[in-house]
Structure 1
Amino acid sequence: MLAQFVLFDGFDPLDVVGPFEVFSAAGMVTDQVSAELVAPDGPGEIRSGVPGVSLTAAASLNPDRADLIVVPGAAGSTPPPDRNDLTDEEREATVPAILGRTLTTGLPALLGKALAAPRTTVAAVCGGSLILSMAGLIEGRNAATHHQGLGMLGASGVNVIRARVVDDGDLVTSGGVTSGLDVGLYLLEREVGPKIALAVEELFEYERRGVVWRDLGPAPASA
């Protein structure tokens, strides 16, 4: 299983590193898993949204090769939505602006191709769900994101689920930045098996949080 972790200018490092390290650790205990950092434009150093922090993409994002593609959110400022006195420089450094700039790259087309591929799963951490929704790729789907982005996610036609991890088949999304570990371990269990996932969980000394939401079973009665 090849898992590709997407980098783009302004990405949030923890969104990437958490689940990437989960799959990298799995690759040390089984030959069924490999992980690589990728970018739409190919190999190279990519600046994160945290000053002084960059990661190096080892390959191009390639839905024809990947079994799993993980999309992070962005690291930037989050001023109140009613604040209208931002300078152009301040506005360009906000999370929505950083995420919006990904739409001018080759990323949306590649993610669309991945979602159309029958054997590929696309996962998103935090604001990565917003990239998918802003690109019009997950309208009508069930998804989660950081609590500050739930309104934007719903406005794009996504069925917003307030859960730590949401499994919608070939689309698996998660909440805020620390949920990257949760979604990474869940995907490892789902795709490779619980024995490998438990081994990594024990190595990291981390227990997954929350219920993974799936569209199964009865809905709770209204209060």
Structure 2
Amino acid sequence: MHAQIVLFDGFDPLDVIAPFEVLHAGGAASAGAVSVELVSAEGPREVISGTGGLALRATAALDPGRPGLVLVPGAAGRVSEDPGADGDEHVSVLLGRTLSTALPGLLKAAMADPRVTVATVCGGSLVLAMAGLLEGRCATTNHLGLDVLGATGAHAVRARVVDDGDLVTGAGITSGLDLSLYLLEREIGPQIAHAVEGLFAHERRGTVWRSHGPAPAAL
């Protein structure tokens, strides 16, 4: 499985680094069955995150037709309406700015390819939703954005990780660990995922939500 992790201006570093490390370790544990790279819609470039000017380098352009995984992070910025003194932009502004780039078109092509699984961490699902790509799909996001997600026509689920087949979404920032470990288990196998989980001394939280089985009665 080849994983392309997308960088865009204002991305949240932890949304990127946690899955990158987990998937890279999964590649080592599986004798190369997993590979991972950082990409952008524009191609190789230095991309500035939304956290203190931290930058990561995309080494390639996002290829929506390459079989495997495309992972979209959220953004890092203000979440309150108080502008504060640091001049940081609001998360919604940073996410919305992706709509004026080539990224939505590339993600649409990736989601149309049955050989590609698209995954998101935190506000990454809102990038897809604002581009009109999640109507009727089950997904999650940061708890602060669930109402926005639902307003776009998606079925917003309050869960740590939501598996909707070729769309797998994670909730808040640290859910990137759980999401990527789950993807390792689903795509490569539980023994590999368990070994990486032990390496990072991290135990996944909650049940992965899937639309299987009976719906629960009111509790």
TM-score range, shorter chain: over 0.9
List, as ranges, runs of 4+ consecutive aligned residues in structure 1 with deviation greater than 6 Å: none
Task: Tell me if the contact between 1:125 and 1:174 (Cα under 8 Å) persists in the aligned partners.
Answer: yes
**Superimposed CA distance per residue, residues 94-120 of structure 1 (whole angstroms, 9 cap, x where no aligned partner):** 000000000000100010001000110
**Superimposed CA distance per residue, residues 65-96 of structure 1 (whole angstroms, 9 cap, x where no aligned partner):** 2410000000000124xx7xx69x95x81000
Task: Tell me if the contact between 2:44 and 2:57 (Cα under 8 Å) persists in the aligned partners.
Answer: yes
Question: 1:220: Cα distance to partner?
Answer: 1.2
CA distance in 1, matches of 2:67, 2:146: 28
The residue that corresponds to 2:36 in the other structure is 35
**Superimposed CA distance per residue, residues 42-62 of structure 1 (whole angstroms, 9 cap, x where no aligned partner):** 011100000131100011100
Matched residues, percent identical? 60
Q: Report the count of equivalent residues.
A: 217
Structure 1 regions of 5+ residues with no counterpart?
A: none
The residue that corresponds to 2:78 in the other structure is 77
CA distance in 2, matches of 1:60, 1:191: 24
The residue that corresponds to 2:19 in the other structure is 19
* 2:28 partner letter: M
Task: Tell me if the contact between 2:74 and 2:123 (Cα under 8 Å) persists in the aligned partners.
Answer: yes
Task: Tell me if the contact between 2:66 and 2:116 (Cα under 8 Å) persists in the aligned partners.
Answer: no
Root-mean-square deviation (CA, aligned residues, Å) is 1.5
**Superimposed CA distance per residue, residues 172-213 of structure 1 (whole angstroms, 9 cap, x where no aligned partner):** 001000000000000011011111111111111111111000
Task: Tell me if the contact between 1:127 and 1:146 (Cα under 8 Å) persists in the aligned partners.
Answer: yes
The residue that corresponds to 2:69 in the other structure is 68
CA distance in 1, matches of 2:217, 2:191: 36
CA distance in 2, matches of 1:3, 1:62: 11
* 1:44 partner letter: R
- Partner SS for 1:69: strand
The residue that corresponds to 1:6 in the other structure is 6
**1:105 corresponds to 2:106:** no
* 2:69 partner letter: L
CA distance in 1, matches of 2:143, 2:99: 22
CA distance in 1, matches of 2:36, 2:218: 43
- Partner SS for 1:93: coil
- Partner SS for 1:37: strand
CA distance in 1, matches of 2:174, 2:200: 14
CA distance in 2, matches of 1:49, 1:66: 29
CA distance in 1, matches of 2:51, 2:174: 16
CA distance in 2, matches of 1:177, 1:222: 29
Residue among 141, 152, 164 paired with 1:168: 164
CA distance in 1, matches of 2:179, 2:41: 22
